[in-house]
Amino acid sequence: MEFANEGFIQPLLQKPPSSPSGSSATGHQASNLLENILTDPRLPNFKRLQLATLIELKLLFHLAAPAVLVYMINYLMSMSTQIFSGHLGNLELAGASLGNNGIQVLSYGLLLGMGSAVETLSGQAYGAGRYEMLGIYLQRATIILMAAGIPLTIIYIYSKPILILLGQSSTIASAAAVFVYGLIPQIFVYATNFPIQKFLQAQSIVVPSAYVSVVTLVLHLFFSWLVVYKMGLGLFGASLLLSLSGVAMVVAQFIYIVKSERCKYTWTGFRIEAFSGLMEFLKLSISSAIMLCLECWYFQILVLIAGLLENPQLALDSLSICTTINGWVFMISVGFNAAASVRVSNELGAGNPRSVAFSVIIVTLLSFTIAEILAIVILLLRHVLSYGFTSGEVVADAVSELCPLLAITLILNGIQPVLSGVAVGCGWQTFVAYVNVGCYYVIGIPLGVLLGFKFNFGAKGIWSGMIGGTAMQTIILLWVTYWTDWDDEVEKAMTRLDKWKVKQVPTEKD
Q: Report d(CA 96, CA 239) in Å as an integer.
A: 9
Instruction: Residue 373: give the domain boundaries.
Output: 53-499
Q: Do 341 and 60 meet the contact criterion of CB atoms below 8 Å apart?
A: no
| Within-domain flag for 142 | yes
Cα–Cα distances in Å, from 20 out to 10, 28, 243, 342, 403? 20, 10, 34, 16, 47
The pLDDT tens digits for 120-176 are: 778 878 877 788 888 888 888 888 899 989 999 998 898 888 888 877 778 878 888
The pLDDT tens digits for 421-437 are: 898 888 888 888 888 88
| Within-domain flag for 421 | yes
Q: What is the pLDDT of residue 474?
A: 92
The total number of structural domains that make up the chain: 1
| Within-domain flag for 509 | no
| Within-domain flag for 324 | yes
The pLDDT tens digits for 437-496 are: 899 889 998 999 899 888 888 888 888 988 999 999 999 999 999 999 999 988 888 887
Instruction: With cut-offs at 50, 70 and 90, classify the pLDDT of residue 31.
Output: low
- The average pLDDT across 278-295 equals 74
| Within-domain flag for 32 | no
Q: Report d(CA 407, CA 193) in Å as an integer.
A: 31
- The average pLDDT across 314-335 equals 79
Q: What is the pLDDT of residue 500?
A: 60
| Within-domain flag for 27 | no
| Within-domain flag for 24 | no
Q: What is the pLDDT of residue 362?
A: 92
| Within-domain flag for 29 | no
Q: What is the mean pLDDT of the chain?
A: 81
Q: Do 452 and 459 meet the contact criterion of CB atoms below 8 Å apart?
A: yes
Between 321 and 4, the more confident residue is: 321
The pLDDT tens digits for 32-83 are: 777 788 877 887 888 888 888 888 888 888 888 888 888 888 778 877 787 7
* Secondary structure in 3-state letters for 466-505: HHHHHHHHHHHHHHHHHCCCHHHHHHHHHHHHHHCCCCCC
Q: Report d(CA 280, CA 470) in Å as an integer.
A: 31
- 223-227 contact pairs (CB < 8 A, 24+): 224/80, 224/81, 224/84, 225/84
